[in-house]
Structure 1
Amino acid sequence: MVESITEVWRQERLHVAPEGQEPKIVGSAFYRGETCQFNPYHGDHAAPGFAERFLLQGWTPTTRFISSGTRITTFGSCFAQHINAHLKMIGFDTARDRDGGVYISLMGEGLVNVHSLLQQFEWALEDTAPPTGLWHGFKAESFGYDEAVRQRTREIFLSTDVFILTFGVSEIWYDEMTKGVFWRAVPMAHFDASRHKFRVASFAETRAAMERILDLIRKHVPEARVVMTVSPVPLVATFRPVSCITANSASKAIIRAALDEVQRERGDERLFYFPAYDAITTLFPQPFVEDGRHFHDFVVPAIMRLFEAFFCDTPLTREAAEAHLRAARLDCVRTLRDHPLYREAY
């Protein structure tokens, strides 16, 4: 694998040629272990199997386990709606189709922080409700702790074969008096500055909430598989006195790091991570339309076809999904070239 050694800036550099990759140049002074994975060079991006080698390596199951008879429950932050829509399109059984009236269906992409997801599991499976006044819909309408809804949510959870959970933001609003966390933000009509406060959820509490979710699933639905994702959709605004771009980076980093540590330390063979966030924010030069939050039409189908090819038992091949991803990335480049900011440069 090592082809030659040169010296650059007083440091030896190894010229290595991993099979099927562009040749790499790396420092020779340090041991890199038995499972070293290189960051792709530009030439690697056009190679067959790019996504499998450089994006999905280590995260996918050995065999596809989602089929037409699999009962799937997917909810969480914004990107959850795209996952649910694609699974429905290819004919799979999602909780939103089984019962559209429970909160995880009505607010399937509106439970934006880790606490809001945990609340649904604790409420449904342990009959433990958070303090009142925290659950509000997209129009600020209130959702109460209806026992019939709780029982129906419990039935959905207990019959689930695969949970797909999407975590979105670390910025949270909470009631200082009760310590309860809101699903999203505080409705203007109910805001009370003396008790409604804002903060950024810490890494420790984020990880603890994820662990609690997984513990509840293992307790009540021990054979269920769990796929965890991070929403690529950025903050629409931050309540911090810093730029939204930097606040969003911190918000996502907390969630991504917590997920990574949870998966590493649990060693659960039924727990998976799907890198939708990593793919969209890294592989597309500009995945969003003018508002900076909604995706170009070609982005989500490319990412969801990757998910389908590696997780779902359908005729879609990995090669076809890879080809679709390459085409979508080219579409992204063409779209970027048409933008007024770049038009003169091209």
Structure 2
Amino acid sequence: MRIEYDAGTALSIMRGNPVRGWTSGKPERMAKDRLTTGSFLSVDHKPKFQIEPSWPIFTMGSCFARGVENVLISRGLLLLLNGHGVPAEHFETWNEETGRGGGAARGELSRGALNKYSVRSMAHELKRVLMNESYPEEGLIELAPNQWFDPHASGLKLLDKETALANRRKLTAATAQIKQARICFFTLGLTETWLDSETGLAMNTHPGPVWLSRMPERFRFVDYGYEATLSDMLSILTMIRQHCHPEMRFIVTVSPVPLGATFKDADVIVANSASKSVLRAVAEELYRRFDFVDYFPSYEIVLNSPRTLAFEEDQLHIARDMVATVMGTFERSYLDAGRQANAA
């Protein structure tokens, strides 16, 4: 959907925009100066709508979404996934090379298993809870005798069937919380996706290089492009507004967390840029089409802040102070104006 104005309107909009210029305008407002402060980037975000503090919020997306959740909880907002998760001892140990694993302290519940990286895997998980779509063995895959892999979870190790099914029920119940939501915050992660060729389902994660090599005919790699990703997101929005709150509003962003590794014959930096560009274009199209969808620029805030501040030492995960800065912008944009209006 294109944006089009007559010349007079375009000039009026430009002149009324204090952050329009890269090298022109007030020194503290031009992009050149904001990009070279040596600190976190400040972005002037104009939201389409405000969030009522009482609105239940549902979040879905990559590991960046978990950081967003922690800030929302700390600021007293009603996060529907709070208290949901999988026991930390069921997670793999973090592996830097594969970018897999993680979890919380032993004995605690971790929301890390809820990470959703591709849009297609998000769609399957939502169909499970909103349209009662069912899968053989709940979608679990037995890779070795009584060693079950959940392709719709993230970071879990192989478990016996009973434990794997119990975790699957926990994760399904967590996703079902979307039915109580008034607003959804979606963080789009990547386009590279793995399919289970026996069921046709898009997996959230693959089972690891060892099992990919042992079962090459079962698992297939797909890098979804713009048309397929947009189609998936359109079906997700329609499905949610039909089966959840009919006036559900959405805030969509792109995760600044890069690919841990690419399966394409390309430099991972180039592959990551291609993947994020597709997702950013899809988010922009949704923003243009629907008044109930807003785009929040966490991706731009992080990627245009100094990497030494924005990322942890692995240059993969986002630093806590960076997440706090992003969410400070979020709170000022979507909450503060509404609070000020109510106070008045």
Shorter-chain TM-score above 0.5: yes
CA shift at 1:195, angstroms?
Answer: 2.5
Identity of aligned residues (%): 24
In structure 2, C-alpha distance between the alignment counterparts of 1:185 and 1:108, rounded to whole Å: 14
Preserved CA contact (<8 Å) 1:177 1:195: yes
Question: Could you say which residue in structure 1 is the equivalent of 2:300?
Answer: 278
Change (3 A) 1:130 1:232: farther
The 3-state SS of whatever aligns with 2:201 is coil
Note the C-alpha offset of 1:169.
0.7
Amino acid at match of 2:79: T
User: What corresponds to 2:56 in structure 1?
Assistant: 71
Deviating more after overlay: 85-94 vs 34-43: 34-43
Of 247-256 and 308-317, the range deviating more from structure 2: 308-317
What is the number of residues matched between the two proteins?
A: 280
SS of 2:317's equivalent in the other structure is: coil
- Native 8 Å contact 1:107 1:137 kept in 2: yes
In the TM superposition, 1:179-258 aligns within 5 A as: 179-188=200-209, 190-191=211-212, 192-221=215-244, 222-258=246-282
Q: Secondary structure of 1:229's match?
A: strand
2:146 corresponds in structure 1 to none
* SS of the residue 1:227 aligns to: strand
Local SS of the residue matching 1:96 = coil
Distance 1:150 1:293 in 2: 25
**Distance in 1 between the 2:224 and 2:259 partners?**
15
Query: What TM-score, normalized to structure 2?
Result: 0.70
How many Å apart are 1:189 and its aligned residue?
5.7
1:133-158 deviation per Cα after TM superposition (whole angstroms, max 9, x unaligned): 33243133465598955873475121
Q: Note if contact 2:193-2:202 (Cα within 8 Å) is conserved in structure 1.
A: yes
CA apart distance, 1:172: 1.1
Instruction: Give 2:23's aligned residue.
Output: 41
Instruction: Report if aligned partners of 1:75, 1:108 keep a CA contact under 8 Å in 2.
Output: no
In structure 2, C-alpha distance between the alignment counterparts of 1:159 and 1:174, rounded to whole Å: 30
Distance 1:106 1:217 in 2: 21
- TM-score, length of structure 1 as denominator length: 0.70
Change (3 A) 1:136 1:108: closer
Counterparts of 2:172 and 2:64, CA distance in 1: 26
Contact in 2 for aligned 1:119/1:130 (Cα 8 Å): no
Q: Residue 81 of structure 2 corresponds to which residue in structure 1?
A: 96
Q: Is the 8 A contact 1:140 1:187 kept in 2?
A: no
Q: Which residue of 1 aligns with 2:131?
A: 126
CA distance in 2, matches of 1:45, 1:87: 33
Corresponding residue for residue 334 of structure 1 = none
Q: Secondary structure at the match of 2:69?
A: helix
User: Structure 1: how far apart are the matches of 2:194 and 2:254?
Assistant: 20
Asked whether the equivalents of residues 184 and 250 of structure 2 are also in contact (C-alpha less than 8 Å), the reply is yes
Looking at structure 1, the residues matched to 307 and 61 of structure 2 have their Cα atoms a distance apart, in angstroms, of 26
- Two-structure CA RMSD over aligned residues (Å): 3.4
Aligned to 1:178: 199
Shift, 1:196, TM fit: 1.2
Cα distance in structure 2, aligned partners of 1:312 and 1:129: 38
Letter in 1 for 2:184: F
Structure 2 gaps of 5+ residues are 1-5, 36-41, 88-109, 142-150
Judging changes above 3 Å, is the alpha-carbon distance between structure 1 residues 293 and 45 closer, same or farther for their aligned structure 2 residues? farther
- Whole-angstrom CA distance in 2 between matches of 1:165 and 1:113: 11
> Are the counterparts in 2 of residues 167 and 229 from structure 1 also a CA contact under 8 Å?
yes
